[in-house]
């Protein structure tokens, strides 16, 4: 290694070699190294350049890490959109089941109706003779007056027995307050609702415990502290009573206002009175579900398209893009087989030149009863053949947590990111160690150069003194 040249009257830049790199003065020193010699900035440049060159592989890894992170983000976006497409398929599946039927009520002020699995077309007459009431109780007069329910209580006990229709529930009021007692009752599992009411004035409050039965029935409700009963009954509840098609002669009792009057047909009682309920087959639910499916499909097609072409997104060039495109294409090109009297076009579904799925609700509405049944047969169900089963299977090939394309690709991407993170961390440790080692070496070199500089100064001064003395003698 060449030694630095230092001489009297030296004015040109001092060049030196350390570890194969040449430095010159005039470069700012990095954090962690400060020297005292005239060449400290040159030594700092050696450290800076060495660290910079050693960092190049790590920077490449960081660039790759950023790229893979973008791929993972896009994979997660696609996963969410395929899940949305699955939900749209589920919506069609439901619509061709009980969703194919709708219920209309003659007098909407008496009740509302809803259809569910197992419903069939038919007309029913309901006569609601009573909407029923709930049992209401309140803490009795003569108990401790409570001005602040957060601190006071109607009784000094902390353990109570709540009895509802002969069934006992143990209640523990952990903080001894009326608010705590109401919360404990509501958490007891009893079929009641506890609230706090103020029966006094704003200036002189009198907070009471109110407990109401949740059923519309003549429930008996009592709260005891082990010695005394603490509740007074304000009103005893009564059943909801009704008849279906005039039967039975004695109205039916129900503790709920939600009534099941036929398989898959439920009504919610609003007030007493008579009304009809008609259940009929309707294609509106299927139409809405198909429209939702088309919109969701198009959103997914557009997202996949972002990763194709010269200016494609994060997944450009990845095989997963072509696999997902094939899945979407196979869903769109569903073929029911020879002999079928219906096609996706009969459902109002067609494709434009951009590969987007279009749904024509008007064309769907023109189906007659026969053609609608053929179209519904084409749809099938998720577990019983037809388009829905085929689409469900194709989507599962993408989303299945174990074997699906996207979960597997997501896992591979996560593994790659973890590996890159470990490599980057290891490189960073090596670079940090290199910087520390070079800083120590340059500090030692700087100290040596500084010492030599001091010696040069001393020798220069000595020569100057000798020259002056010589002139004095000869002069």
| Residue 393 pLDDT | 94
Residue among 257, 253, 222 nearest 236 (CA): 222
- 200 and 307 in one domain? no
State the number of CA atoms in the 13 A half-sphere of 243 facing the CB. 11
User: Rounded mean pLDDT of the chain?
Assistant: 87
- 297 and 223 in one domain? no
Q: What is the mean pLDDT of residues 184-213?
A: 97
- 392 and 343 in one domain? yes
- 291 and 214 in one domain? no
Segments forming the whole domain that contains residue 403: 66-96+285-412
127 SS3 class:
strand
The answer as to whether 162 is a domain residue is yes
Q: Are 395 and 296 in contact (CB under 8 A)?
A: no
Beta partners for 170? 161
The answer as to whether 17 is a domain residue is no
* Separation CA 399–CA 74 (nearest Å): 15
pLDDT band at 18 (very low <50, low <70, confident <90, very high): very low
Q: Tell me how far apart the 2 most distant CA atoms of the chain are, in Å.
A: 151
The answer as to whether 90 is a domain residue is yes
- Give the count of domains, the chain: 2
Beta partners for 26? none
The answer as to whether 253 is a domain residue is no
Q: Which of 172, 201, 235 is the last residue of a domain?
A: 235
Q: Which of 214, 235, 256 is the last residue of a domain?
A: 235
Six token digits for residue 71: 């791929």
| Residue 338 pLDDT | 60
pLDDT one-digit tens code per residue, 305-363 = 998 877 788 898 889 999 999 999 899 888 777 655 567 877 888 888 788 999 988 88
pLDDT one-digit tens code per residue, 51-93 = 999 999 999 999 999 999 999 999 999 999 999 999 999 999 8
pLDDT band at 180 (very low <50, low <70, confident <90, very high): very high
pLDDT band at 281 (very low <50, low <70, confident <90, very high): confident
At residue 404, does pLDDT exceed 90? yes
- 289 and 399 in one domain? yes
* Separation CA 188–CA 161 (nearest Å): 10
pTM value is 0.60
The answer as to whether 22 is a domain residue is no
The answer as to whether 435 is a domain residue is no
- 318 and 204 in one domain? no
pLDDT winner (highest mean) among 18-27, 224-233, 316-325:
224-233
The answer as to whether 200 is a domain residue is yes
- 304 and 407 in one domain? yes
- 225 and 289 in one domain? no
- 407 and 296 in one domain? yes
| Residue 3 pLDDT | 41
- 406 and 290 in one domain? yes
| Residue 28 pLDDT | 40
The answer as to whether 456 is a domain residue is no
| Residue 309 pLDDT | 76
- 399 and 295 in one domain? yes
- 402 and 308 in one domain? yes
């Amino acid at each position: 290694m060449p030694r630095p040249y230092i001489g009297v009257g030296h004015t040109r830049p001092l060049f030196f070699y350390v570890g194969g790199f040449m430095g010159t003065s005039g470069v700012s020193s990095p954090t962690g190294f400060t020297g005292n010699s005239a060449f400290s900035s040159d030594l700092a440049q050696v450290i800076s350049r060495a660290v910079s060159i050693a960092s190049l592989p790590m920077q490449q890894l960081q660039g790759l890490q950023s790229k893979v992170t973008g791929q993972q983000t896009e994979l997660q976006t696609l996963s969410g959109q395929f899940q949305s497409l699955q939900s749209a398929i589920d919506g069609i599946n439901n619509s061709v089941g009980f969703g194919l039927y709708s219920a209309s009520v003659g007098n909407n002020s008496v009740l509302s109706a809803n259809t569910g699995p197992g419903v069939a077309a038919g007309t029913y007459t309901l006569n609601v003779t009573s909407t029923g009431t709930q049992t209401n109780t309140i803490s009795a007069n003569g108990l401790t007056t409570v001005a602040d329910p957060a601190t006071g209580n109607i009784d000094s006990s902390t353990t109570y027995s709540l009895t509802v229709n002969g069934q006992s529930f143990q209640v523990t009021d952990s903080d001894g307050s009326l608010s705590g007692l109401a919360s404990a009752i509501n958490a007891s599992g009893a079929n009641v609702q506890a609230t706090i009411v103020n029966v006094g004035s704003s200036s002189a409050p009198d907070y009471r415990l109110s407990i109401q039965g949740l059923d519309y029935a003549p429930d008996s409700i009592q709260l005891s502290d082990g010695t005394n009963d603490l509740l007074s009954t304000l009103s005893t509840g009564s059943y909801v009573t009704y008849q279906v098609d005039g039967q039975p002669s004695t109205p039916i009792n129900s503790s709920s206002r939600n009534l099941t009057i036929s398989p898959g047909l439920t009504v919610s009682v609003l007030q007493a009175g008579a009304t009809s309920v008609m259940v009929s087959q309707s294609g509106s639910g299927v139409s809405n579900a198909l429209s939702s499916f088309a919109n969701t499909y198009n959103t997914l097609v557009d997202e996949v398209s972002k990763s194709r072409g010269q200016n494609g997104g994060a997944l450009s060039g990845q095989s997963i893009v072509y696999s997902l495109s094939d899945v979407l294409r196979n869903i769109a090109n569903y073929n029911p087989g020879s002999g079928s009297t219906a096609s996706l076009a009969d459902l109002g579904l067609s494709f434009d030149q951009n590969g987007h799925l279009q749904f024509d609700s008007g064309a769907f509405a023109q189906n007659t009863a026969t053609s609608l049944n053929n179209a519904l047969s084409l749809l099938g169900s998720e577990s019983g053949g037809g388009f829905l089963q085929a689409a469900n299977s194709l989507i599962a090939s993408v989303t299945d947590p174990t074997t699906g394309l996207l979960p597997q690709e997501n896992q591979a991407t996560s593994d790659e990111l973890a590996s890159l993170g470990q490599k980057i961390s290891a490189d960073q440790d090596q670079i940090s160690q290199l910087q520390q080692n070079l800083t120590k070496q340059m500090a030692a070199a700087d100290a040596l150069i500084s010492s030599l500089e001091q010696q040069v100064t001393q020798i220069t001064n000595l020569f100057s003194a000798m020259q002056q003395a010589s002139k004095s003698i000869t002069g």
